[in-house]
């Protein structure tokens, strides 16, 4: 009887600790961690790290609003015509972001360019905003869109300059992500709850084991001792 109680108590406590361990190891971006983004860049035929801005990569950090600046050198005719095709909606600048650091799921989006293609040059709007929706360290939505600002003159041999804002939102809403850090995206309340649950279960089964020890071992021995003293 005592062995069964001990085994049951051990199994429940182990299960509780496993649940807590799984939650604490849950895969997800940390605040300020750079996102894993890949793009099918103009003139390229496979996804590589991006978005490429000249010789560097535009970095977007999880949960952090900010400003972006990207320079796109139009160094050869292939690149120039690729940008012209995106402006004229003949092709798309595809990108994707990994939902969480170790996930095999990618969230797709694209960079649309707004402008006008002329015979010898292109006029391209230079403002591009990026919005992202996050929840518990995961990307659940992303989009990029041009916003009317200034139209850059772009010709072969020039550099296209694009700037804009990155803004994060909570879950599927348009509530700023910074307001959610103390709510669902903050794992501390859940961790505290799990710790309290584990402590409560441990305490409860400790009491059960102590009662079992008393009923199965201490009480019989006390009764035997009492009977011996009584007969003596």
Cα gap 186→180, rounded to integer Å:
8
pLDDT at 182: 45
Summarize pLDDT for 43-78 with one digit per residue, the tens. 899 999 999 887 889 999 999 999 999 999 998 999
Q: Is the pLDDT of residue 219 over 80?
A: no
pLDDT at 195: 64
Please give the share of the chain, as a percent, with pLDDT higher than 90. 56
pLDDT confidence band for 103 (50 / 70 / 90): very high
How distant is the alpha carbon of residue 123 from its chain centre? 36
Cα gap 107→53, rounded to integer Å:
21
Summarize pLDDT for 16-36 with one digit per residue, the tens. 555 554 444 457 999 999 999
Q: Is 137 left (phi over 0), alpha (psi -120 to 50) or beta?
A: left
Q: What is the mean pLDDT of residues 40-44?
A: 90
- Tell me the pairing of strands 66-73 and 52-53: unpaired
Q: What is the mean pLDDT of residues 148-168?
A: 95
Taking the complete model, does pTM exceed 0.85, yes or no? no
Only one residue has tokens 């959610």, namely 180
Beta carbons of 121 and 154 less than 8 angstroms apart: yes
**Interacting residues of 85 by C-beta distance below 8 A, sequence separation 6+:** 91
Q: What is the CA radius of gyration of the chain?
A: 31
Cα gap 104→146, rounded to integer Å:
29
Tokens matching residue 226: 């009492």
């Amino acid at each position: 009887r005592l062995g069964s109680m001990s085994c049951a108590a051990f199994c429940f406590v182990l299960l509780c600790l496993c649940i807590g361990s799984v939650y604490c190891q849950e895969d997800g971006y940390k605040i300020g961690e750079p996102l894993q983004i890949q793009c099918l860049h103009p003139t390229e035929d496979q996804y590589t790290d991006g978005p490429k801005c000249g010789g560097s990569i535009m970095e977007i950090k999880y949960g952090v609003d900010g400003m972006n600046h990207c320079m796109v050198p139009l160094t050869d005719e292939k690149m120039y015509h690729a940008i012209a095709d995106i402006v004229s909606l003949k092709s798309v600048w595809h990108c994707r972001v990994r939902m969480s650091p170790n996930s095999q799921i990618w969230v797709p989006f694209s960079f649309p360019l707004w402008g006008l293609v002329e015979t010898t040059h292109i006029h391209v709007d230079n403002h591009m905003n990026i919005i992202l929706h996050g929840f518990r360290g995961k990307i659940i939505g992303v989009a990029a869109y041009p916003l009317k600002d200034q139209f850059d003159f772009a010709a072969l041999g020039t550099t296209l300059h694009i700037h804009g804002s990155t803004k994060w939102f909570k879950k599927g809403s348009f509530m700023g992500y910074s307001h959610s850090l103390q709510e669902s995206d903050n794992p501390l309340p859940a961790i505290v709850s799990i710790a309290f649950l584990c402590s409560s279960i441990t305490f409860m089964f400790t009491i059960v084991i102590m009662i079992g020890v008393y009923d199965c071992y201490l009480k019989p021995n006390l009764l035997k001792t009492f009977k011996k003293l009584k007969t003596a």
